[in-house]
Chain A
Amino acid sequence: MHNKKNLILEIQDLSLAFPKTLYQSTSLRDSFINVLSGKRILDNDQHVVLNKLNLNIWSGDRVGILAKNGTGKSTLCRCISGYYKPRDGIIKRYGLIRALFESSLAFYPELSGRENMKILAEIFYDYKTDNLQEIIEESIIFSELNESIDAPLKTYSKGMQLRLSLSLLSALSTDLLILDEVFDGADEFFRKKLATRVRNLIDSSSSVILVSHQESQIMEICNRVLVMKDGQFIFDGDPLTAFEVYRSGETGF
């Protein structure tokens, strides 16, 4: 499908840290107490999430990312998507990036599922180049929410909300597709249905980043796997070796 390999994403020396002051003192009350009690937190005390990270992604790449919880996988995905804007490092995007994260994203409880879907579509897709109406109609059918689609969102269960947002967000392929643990939370039947849809989405997207803890999923989809540790990639290569590195790292901790 993609014979000539095109560079889609280029990351150079990406670093991200946040000052510990932000989670040790996130209220005026704490700051007030700290100042009066003479307790000082140094501003340069940093918690490093990403440390001079480099990554190139080419068309045809199906990249899996392996790392333990809390090592910055999602943070990296959000940097690539442009939702986080780190100061240090360069991120060059040579294509359209769409990212699916786990959470359900509808946000007007008083409005119907359909109205929520419309807003979501306008945010996620481009009203100029994509046919939003068509995407919405197709996603509603796929979600199987049936009549519930016109009921207020506040009457939805968590699973229904997830169906609504995931159906919509998985409607169009793209140059770089980011999937961050999207398969959890839905019921088994819908998960299978969604898996097929996402599989098609992966096949029709030029490149993919997959964050998952399920070995079978990564083995099935990815042709390149990165192992992340301490804000850097310690391995970049074939899936089998990646799992070996990942596991040896686990015992080494």
Chain B
Amino acid sequence: MNINKQFNVLLSMTLANLKSRYRNTFYGFLWVVLNPIITYLVQVFAFTMIFQSNFANYPLYLLGGLIPWLFIVQSVDMCTGIFLHNGHILKNLPINPLVLPLSQMIDNFINFICAFLILILYFASRGKISPVVIPILIAPVLSLFVMVTSLSIIFAVINVKYRDLKFIVSFVFTVLFFLTPIFYSVHIVPANIRMIISKNPFYFVIRPFQELFMNGATITFFQSLAVSFGVSVTLVIIAFICWNKMKRNISFYA
């Protein structure tokens, strides 16, 4: 199984994932990209109109947290069971198991970028986001992608041994949504609880986006970016160890 061939397969499978999700039409693409945007709009509506919160620039703050969060949750949800779900492929075809989660991740990533970019360009056109900020976004986006890919691989590998992990993960992420400063600011959290909430690794990865949208490329942004890369690099290492320990067993037990 040479690298070139596996890379070629990865590209084809990513393309096939995209195509089958879009049902081969432009409207299918629209449907997939509109999904997170609608979720976002509903939450903006709920907080600014119904709760009438006086959070300054709330739509911008929510943008930095919610869209990356939806990408994290969707990716982990789709990748955790991926080896088991495709066990018959791993057992019967010459394919590197890693191709499966990676093609799923790239697929999700493209959808995430499209939705994110549409919203960012909207805010930029309204003068709410400075255009200078947009190229800087590449750094936190890269860190996010690396973090989520590593996490997805870790969960997918563990799920081969503990088959109910998938259900536990989806439950934990529902809870985590409320424990991560996404729709509220970390400043409104009482100091004693803030200690715990601000240790949340998902918050570390999301924070650079919030900083950048709210305050621009400040020192605080670069500090939060460094922390974000710290988290993603740590997870890459853990994913690598997990993979190396289990790679022989994956197709066997899947």
Contact = CB atoms under 8 A, between A and B. Distances in A.
Interface in B216-254: 247-248, 251-253
Interface residues of B, number: 33
The interface residues of chain B, by DSSP majority, are classed as: helix
Interface stretch (A110-118, A139-147, A222-230, A242-250): A110-118
Contacts of B161: 22, 26
Contacts of A167: none
B12 interface: yes
A101 interface: yes
B27 interface: no
Interface in B115-160: none
A42 interface: no
Contacts of B90: 83
A86 B251 CA distance: 11
Contacts of A84: 251-252
Nearest to A26: B163
A124 B93 contact: yes
A109 B162 CA distance: 27
B94 A111 contact: no
Contacts of A101: 91-92
Contacts of B95: 123
Given A28-B168, A122-B12, A83 B86 contact: no
Interface string A81-104: 111111100000000000101010
B248 A26 contact: no
A39 interface: no
Contact of A85 (B86, B89, B248): B248
B1 interface: yes
A22 B88 CA distance: 18
A28 B252 contact: no
B199 interface: no
A111 B21 CA distance: 9
A53 B243 CA distance: 28
B20 A27 contact: no
Contacts of A26: 161-163
Q: Give the interface size class of chain A.
A: 20 to 34
Given A87-B248, A128-B4, A27 B16 contact: no
A191 interface: no
Given A22-B253, A85-B248, A127 B8 contact: yes
The interface residues of chain A, by DSSP majority, are classed as: loop
A107 B9 CA distance: 14
A84 B251 CA distance: 6
A105 B94 contact: no
Interface string A123-155: 110111000000000000000000000000000
B165 A107 contact: no
Contacts of B93: 83, 105, 120, 123-124
B12 A118 contact: yes
A119 interface: yes
Contacts of A78: 91, 251
Contact of B92 (A22, A31, A103, A109): A103
Given A83-B91, A127-B5, A119 B163 contact: no
Nearest to A29: B164
B9 A111 contact: no
B104 to A, nearest CB: 12
Contacts of B162: 26-28, 31
A122 B8 contact: yes
A128 to B, nearest CB: 7
Interface in B153-202: 161-165, 168
A128 B23 CA distance: 30
Given A22-B253, A111-B16, A111-B19, A123 B94 contact: yes
11 contacts: A18-B252, A22-B253, A26-B163, A28-B168, A85-B248, A103-B92, A108-B20, A110-B19, A119-B13, A123-B9, A126-B5
**A-B residue pairs, 6 tightest by C-beta:** A110-B20, A27-B164, A85-B248, A101-B92, A28-B162, A108-B20
